[in-house]
């Protein structure tokens, strides 16, 4: 007789053989999704029997994961900052290291009641903007993306999470699409050098949209397009926080400085990798 515990062990063994990190945890997530039960019920009741139909669902998902399809893509959703976001073919799959951008804003804007105006460039699922709206109940924000499908996905997430009255999303090309002044501008642009795309893990290269990954010859194309328009969009004490790739911190900070901004720090993710740059307007402009 197959049980929850035995099917988790089977899935974990297959994922381990396929090179997955932490295969036991991944297997519990998989079984939880396949059986439509909370994860605590998977490892809390390992002796509960599973029928052939349930086993078939687990093995079907397992086969897709082993073939390189991320579970988040299979399920069509991903947790980010404690919130659940719907994914689509036009959006990146939000990853934990991107939460560094949210943390950087929170450190520099400690008053959670301030009515911030936020701008999210390349919004994708809307995860950065909506995570910050969750933290700042008086804030409002705008998300911009060049992909119409991403804008629809972000707007749907705003509705599902209860932020539709404080967020709007529209199609546009980076900061050239908006006017006004913002207290925090967020950006997670494409930053992979074109020739390095072939080296990406298959779960990224095969399932994230290429235009959200390809940063041009040196990975910095989008930063050049963004930084020139930023100074006129920042409020007097506004900040811009941009996610970056490994080794890009100095180059992106230099682009900010060249466009009249003042560097305000480089933030590292939990792996110790410089993950985002922060800049603001010069003191004399404030």
pLDDT tens digits, one per residue of 220-271: 999 999 999 999 999 999 999 999 999 999 999 999 999 999 999 999 999 9
Confidence of residue 59 (pLDDT cuts 50, 70, 90): very high
Q: 67-88, pLDDT tens digit by residue? A: 999 999 999 999 999 999 999 9
Tokens of 79: 């947790």
- Sequence-distant (6+) residues with CB within 8 A of 95 are none
Q: Which residue is listed with tokens 């911190």?
A: 249
Three-state DSSP at 188 gives coil
- DSSP 8-class letter at 285: G
Mean pLDDT of the chain: 94
CATH number for domain 4-67, candidates 1.10.760, 1.10.1740, 2.40.10, 1.10.8: 1.10.8
Q: What is the mean pLDDT of residues 167-188?
A: 94
Confidence of residue 284 (pLDDT cuts 50, 70, 90): low
| Domain ranges, ordered by start, for the chain | 4-67, 88-285
Q: What is the mean pLDDT of residues 189-199?
A: 95
Q: How far apart are CA 258 and CA 278, in angstroms?
A: 14
Domain 88-285 of CATH type 3.40.50.2300: no
What is the crossing angle of helices 127-135 and 148-161, to 10°?
A: 20
Q: 117-146, pLDDT tens digit by residue? A: 999 999 999 999 999 999 999 999 999 999
């Amino acid at each position: 007789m197959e049980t929850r515990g035995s099917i988790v062990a089977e899935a974990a063994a297959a994922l381990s053989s396929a090179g997955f990190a932490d295969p036991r945890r991944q297997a519990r997530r998989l079984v939880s999704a396949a059986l439509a039960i909370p994860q605590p019920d998977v490892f809390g009741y390992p002796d509960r029997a599973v029928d052939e139909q349930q086993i078939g669902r687990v093995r079907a998902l397992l086969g897709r994961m082993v073939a390189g399809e991320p579970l988040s893509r299979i399920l069509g959703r991903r947790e980010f900052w404690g919130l659940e976001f719907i994914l689509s073919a036009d959006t990146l799959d939000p990853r934990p290291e991107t939460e560094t951008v949210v943390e950087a804003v929170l450190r520099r804007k400690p008053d959670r009641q301030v009515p911030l105006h936020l701008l999210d460039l390349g919004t994708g699922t809307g995860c950065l903007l909506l995570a910050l709206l969750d933290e700042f109940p008086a804030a409002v924000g705008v998300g911009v993306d060049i992909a119409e499908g991403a804008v629809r996905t972000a707007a749907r997430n705003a509705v599902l999470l209860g932020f539709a009255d404080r967020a709007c999303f529209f199609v546009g090309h980076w900061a050239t699409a908006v006017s006004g002044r913002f207290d925090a501008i967020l950006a997670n642009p494409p930053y992979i050098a074109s020739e390095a795309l072939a080296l990406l893990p298959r779960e990224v290269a095969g399932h994230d949209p290429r235009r959200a990954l390809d940063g041009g010859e040196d990975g910095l194309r989008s930063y050049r397009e963004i930084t020139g328009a930023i100074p006129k969009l920042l409020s007097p004490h506004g900040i811009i926080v941009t996610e970056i790739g490994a080794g890009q911190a100095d180059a992106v900070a230099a682009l900010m400085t060249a466009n009249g901004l003042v560097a305000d720090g480089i933030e590292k993710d939990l792996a110790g990798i410089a993950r985002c740059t922060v800049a603001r307007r010069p003191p004399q402009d404030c």
